[in-house]
């Protein structure tokens, strides 16, 4: 183990050591070899401290005019040799720097361990040979999707209505006939395509829906952001990579244009020719992909989870007062500890993807989807000091309707499955292990800023004009005079 030689160790145990760590034997040998020397060093230091304390007490008894606060630690006033018998603490004299012995005489630095409390390995956080903590890399980075084998099964979704039916058929035909792929569509769309007699088109039953992720390589969405939300809802747990074409009203998440549909799909299947650095064995290339965090939500009643009330949320979960005339009252707990009581129209917990949806309309921050965070955003809070906050992704939150609330509340998940929360009910929210992988047009950051500009007109302003030559000369002269004065 490399870290043993540096007297520092990174361990991936929860809060104790067990045989599950692959380096457990090395850890045990290391502990057994270092512990006696450290224990002996500690015992020696304790003995020296006791001896010094006993001598000082004898001196204080010999000089009754000296300090009388014997319970005060000597270390709080300096080294024991610095205390002059018969003098008060105000007149204590300390050694000057001329008598300093330097770092070479200091005791050795203590051994250091860095342990995650969730049992995962510390891959990013490291301990250097000097014992200093450091980050080996950023917490997130650009991700590339590279197929080991050519994808063969694709699902195509479109928004409701027949407006985009010709475009929908064009995508299905290109993937099925040109690329030779199995195309899967939803049952209601499959019924409308019966006259096409395309043998490469198939659908699924309600019982087969839970296992779609096992067979589908990637998903094509034709429409707007709502189609991506529908894909997230359709795949309850794991979801294949998603490429979406902007044919809706806003399309913040859809950066691909339908006019380049065939080229974009070709890049998804065979990889982008502009990304040589992700080639594997010189034969396959990849595309940029964003792993969008989801929230896993459970509804509890009488302290127990309600069967069938578990949801994967891509945007936000919202608890509000509904049609009740009173403010909703929500007790918010993090890891079982009460952090605040909300009195407002409602409260939402949003993902970074959802930060540019309902959350930003309620005054929350806009967060890049690669940032691992949970947004805590109040809705019309009856408090001037209640500001939105951003929590780390490991936070586990409970939103409870207390028994003394004036009215029940309502909850919805990505705008769906709206239901009433009775007094005593609570919703538990934590990070889901199943992200929504969306395929980028350029890369994660470029697409995000392009969407901010295209959809929101972010920071649009008439640019300030430069100073005229005459005014610029006056400004330079004024600066020169101020500098010389």
Task: Name the one residue in this structure whose structure tokens are 């692959």.
Answer: 22
Copy the structure tokens of residue 126.
């490291």
Q: CA-CA distances (angstroms) from residue 466 to 419, 469, 476, 479?
A: 57, 9, 14, 17
65-74, 210-219, 332-341, 443-452: which range is least confident on average?
Answer: 65-74
pLDDT of 198 reads: 93
Number of Cβ atoms within 10 Å of the Cβ of 360: 18
CA 141 to chain CA centroid, nearest Å: 12
pLDDT score of 484:
61
Give the C-alpha separation, 42 to 82, whole Å: 23
Instruction: Describe the chain by its helix, strand, coil percentages, rounded to 5.
Output: 30, 25, 40
Which pLDDT score is estimated for 345? 97
Confidence (pTM): 0.75
- Kindly tell me if the per-residue pLDDT of 113 is higher than 50: yes
Report the distance separating Cα 313 and Cα 293, nearest Å: 9
- In this prediction, residue 95 has a pLDDT band, given cuts at 50, 70 and 90, of low
- The pLDDT score that the predictor gives to residue 83 is 44
Least confident of 24-28, 87-91, 209-213, 272-276: 24-28
pLDDT of residue 478: 79
pLDDT of residue 192: 92
**Residue 143 scores a pLDDT above 60:** yes
Whether 178 shows a pLDDT value over 70: the answer reads yes
Segment 237-261 mean pLDDT = 93
Q: Above 50 in pLDDT, residue 344? A: yes
Which one is predicted more confidently, 479 or 406? Answer: 406
pLDDT > 70: what percent of the chain?
Answer: 77
Is 225 an annotated catalytic residue? yes
Give the pLDDT of residue 37: 53
As given in the structure block, the two tokens for residue 304 are 């127990």
Average pLDDT, the chain: 82
Catalytic residue among 217, 225, 264, 447: 225
Question: Tell me, what's the pLDDT at 371?
Answer: 96
Q: What is the pLDDT of residue 140?
A: 81
Are the C-beta atoms of residues 370 and 338 closer than 8 Å to each other? no
- Give the model's pLDDT for residue 276: 63
Which pLDDT tens digit goes with each residue over 48-90? Answer: 555 555 555 554 455 455 444 444 443 334 444 444 444 444 4
Which residue shows structure tokens 């005054």? 363
> What is the predicted pLDDT for the residue at 249?
83
pLDDT at 349 over 80: yes
For position 88, what pLDDT does the model report? 45
Predicted pLDDT of residue 342:
97
The closest of 439, 407, 437, 451 to 425, measured between CA atoms, is: 407
Kindly state the average pLDDT of the residues 194-212.
92
pLDDT at 42 over 60: no
Neighbours of 69 (CB within 10 A): 8
Is residue 438 very low, low, confident or very high in pLDDT (cuts 50, 70, 90)? very high
471 has pLDDT over 90? no
Q: Are strands 337-350 and 328-334 parallel, antiparallel or unpaired?
A: antiparallel
User: How sure is the predictor about 138, in pLDDT bands with cuts at 50, 70 and 90?
Assistant: confident
Q: Is residue 429's pLDDT more than 80?
A: yes
- Residue 197: what pLDDT? 86
What local confidence, expressed as pLDDT, does residue 274 receive?
A: 82
Is a pLDDT exceeding 60 seen at residue 31?
Answer: no
Position 116 scores a pLDDT of: 84
Mean pLDDT along residues 320-328: 95
pLDDT digits 0-9 by tens, 144-175: 999 989 999 999 999 999 999 999 999 999 99
Rounded to an integer, the average pLDDT of 96-120 is 80
Query: Which of 147-161, 239-253, 266-280 has the lowest average pLDDT?
Result: 266-280
The string of DSSP codes covering 282-328 is TTB-EEEEEEE--EEEEEEETTEEEEEEEEEESSEEEEE-TT-SSPE
pLDDT higher than 70, residue 7: no
Residue 322's pLDDT band (cuts 50, 70, 90) = very high
CA 362/CA 383 separation, integer angstroms? 14
Supply the pLDDT for residue 277. Answer: 55
Helix (H) or strand (E) holding 392: strand 389-392
């Amino acid at each position: 183990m490399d870290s043993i030689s540096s007297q520092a160790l990174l361990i991936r145990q929860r809060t104790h050591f067990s045989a599950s760590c692959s380096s457990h034997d090395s850890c045990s040998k290391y502990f057994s070899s270092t512990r006696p020397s450290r224990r002996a060093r500690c015992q020696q230091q304790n003995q020296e401290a006791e001896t010094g304390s006993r001598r000082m007490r004898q001196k204080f008894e010999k000089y009754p005019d000296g300090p009388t606060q014997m319970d005060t630690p000597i270390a709080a006033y300096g080294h024991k040799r610095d205390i002059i018998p018969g003098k008060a603490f105000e007149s204590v004299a300390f050694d000057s720097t001329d008598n300093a012995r330097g770092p070479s005489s200091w005791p050795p630095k203590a051994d250091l361990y860095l342990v995650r409390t969730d049992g995962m390995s510390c891959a990013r956080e490291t301990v250097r040979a000097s014992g200093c903590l450091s980050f080996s890399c950023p917490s997130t980075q650009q991700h590339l999707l590279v197929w080991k084998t050519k994808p063969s099964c694709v699902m195509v979704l479109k928004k409701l209505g027949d407006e985009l039916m010709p475009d929908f058929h064009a995508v299905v035909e290109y993937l099925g006939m040109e690329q030779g792929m199995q195309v899967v569509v939803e049952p209601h769309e499959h019924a409308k395509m019966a006259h096409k007699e395309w043998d490469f088109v198939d659908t699924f039953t309600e019982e087969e829906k839970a296992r779609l992720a096992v067979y589908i390589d990637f998903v094509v969405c034709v429409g707007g952001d709502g189609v991506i939300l529908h894909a997230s809802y359709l795949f309850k747990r794991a979801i294949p990579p998603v490429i979406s074409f902007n044919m809706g009203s806003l399309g913040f998440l859809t950066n691909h244009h339908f006019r380049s549909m065939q080229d974009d799909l070709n890049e998804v299947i065979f990889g982008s020719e502009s990304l040589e650095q992700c080639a594997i064995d010189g034969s396959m290339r990849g595309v940029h992909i964003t792993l969008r965090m989801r929230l896993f939500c459970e509804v509890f009643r009488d302290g127990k989870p309600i069967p069938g009330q578990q949801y994967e949320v891509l945007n936000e979960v919202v608890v509000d007062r509904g049609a009740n005339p009173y403010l909703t009252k929500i007790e918010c707990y993090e890891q079982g500890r009460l952090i605040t009581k909300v009195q407002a129209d409602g409260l939402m917990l949003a993902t970074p993807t959802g930060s540019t949806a309902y959350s930003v309309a309620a005054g929350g921050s806009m967060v890049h989807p690669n940032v691992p965070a949970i947004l805590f955003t109040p809705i019309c809070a009856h408090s001037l000091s209640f500001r939105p906050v951003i929590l780390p992704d490991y936070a586990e939150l409970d939103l409870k309707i207390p028994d003394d609330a004036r009215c029940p509340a309502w909850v919805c998940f990505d705008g769906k499955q709206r239901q009433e929360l009775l007094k005593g009910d609570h919703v538990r929210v934590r990070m889901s292990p199943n992200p929504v992988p969306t395929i980028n047009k350029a890369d994660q950051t470029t697409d995000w800023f392009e969407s901010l500009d295209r959809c929101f007109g972010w920071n649009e302003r008439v640019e300030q004009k430069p100073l005229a030559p005459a005014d610029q000369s006056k400004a330079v002269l004024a600066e020169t005079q101020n500098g010389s004065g």
